[in-house]
Amino acid sequence: MDTDEPGLFDLPESAPEPTPQPSPAQPRPGRNRETWACTVTAEVTIVDAATVTAALTRYLKDTVVVDAFSGEVIEDPASEDAGPDPDLPPLPQLAWLIWPTRGQEELLEENAFRVLDVESTVTTETYDRGTITWTVTVKLTDVQLFRRLATQAQPADAVLIASSLAVAWQRAADSFAPLRSIPGISWRPVSVDIAHVPARKR
């Protein structure tokens, strides 16, 4: 779903929003085995609450939740580990519908990095409007491949891609792809922050 095509309803046309760029900082080219995180933020408005809820219903129907320790399927809907409460308001439902790694399939399939963690949060401003943020934390496994995929996608930015992994990540993947697949919403990009995560001192 495009930012100016919210789905089921036509909204007044507006000038296209520029894609947010990584926060200005000293460029880091990235090295294998380094840990990096991409945090994306967008403003979201519920356009069709019934469509969002229907998407959550499909999620609950198609998803099997397994206990991490016992390996058993969690079937009790009252359990906090069983998944989202189907009676949640539409805006909080988005935290369950967003898939943070969507749009980065090629990087994953080609083994440019390995995902360590994903998380998402929704901050409600009004009943139908708020901010959604998600973070993907990865360990780099093949930086040269990462740069090559980014350059193939945006050859005009080859110099920037070579000197900045943050630029390479944005050129190789659509940072806002996770929102494009969620029906019943409109959204506006706010920020993309891609940064190296220093190793913890032992």
Higher confidence at residue 72 or residue 68? 72
User: Residue 87: its pLDDT value, please?
Assistant: 74
pTM above 0.95?
A: no
Give percent of the chain above pLDDT 70.
74
Q: Which of 146, 145, 141, 102 lies closest to 120 in space, CA to CA? A: 102
User: Residue 106: its pLDDT value, please?
Assistant: 95
Domain boundaries of the chain, sorted by first residue: 34-47+89-196
Backbone angles phi, psi at 10, to 5 degrees: -90, 130
Considering Cα of 15, then 21, then 24, then 27, what sign does the dihedral take?
negative
> Residue 90: which pLDDT band, with cuts at 50, 70 and 90?
confident
